[in-house]
Amino acid sequence: MKKVLVTGADGFIGSHLVEKLLDDGCDVRAFVYYNSFNSWGWLDTLPKSKLSDIEIFAGDIRDPNGVKEAMKGIDEVHHLAALIAIPFSYHSPDSYVDTNIKGTLNVLQAAKDLDVKRVLVTSTSEVYGTAKYVPIDEVHPFQGQSPYSATKIGADRIAESFYRSFDMPITIVRPFNTYGPRQSARAVIPTIITQLLSGKEEIELGSLTPTRDFNFVKDTANGFIEIAKSKNTIGEEINIATQNEISIGKLAEELIRQINPNAKIICDEQRLRPENSEVNRLLGSNAKIKSLTNWEPQYTFEQGLAETIEFFKGNLEKYKTDIYNI
297 — pLDDT class (breaks 50, 70, 90): very high
271 — pLDDT class (breaks 50, 70, 90): low
Q: Taking residues 103-123, what's their average pLDDT?
A: 98
Report if residue 30 sits inside a domain.
yes
Report if residue 142 sits inside a domain.
yes
Report if residue 283 sits inside a domain.
no
pLDDT tens, residue by residue, 59-106: 999 999 999 999 999 999 999 999 999 989 999 999 999 999 999 999
Q: What was the pLDDT predicted at 266?
A: 86
User: Residue 36 belongs to what domain range?
Assistant: 3-179+215-240
Query: Does the model's pTM come out above 0.85?
Result: yes
> How many CA atoms lie within 13 Å of 90's alpha carbon, on the beta-carbon side?
12
Domain total of the chain: 1
pLDDT at 273 over 90: no
Tell me the CATH number at 57. Answer: 3.40.50.720
Report if residue 26 sits inside a domain.
yes
Report if residue 92 sits inside a domain.
yes
Q: Taking residues 271-288, what's their average pLDDT?
A: 84
Report if residue 302 sits inside a domain.
no
pLDDT at 324 over 70: no
Report if residue 207 sits inside a domain.
no
Report if residue 322 sits inside a domain.
no
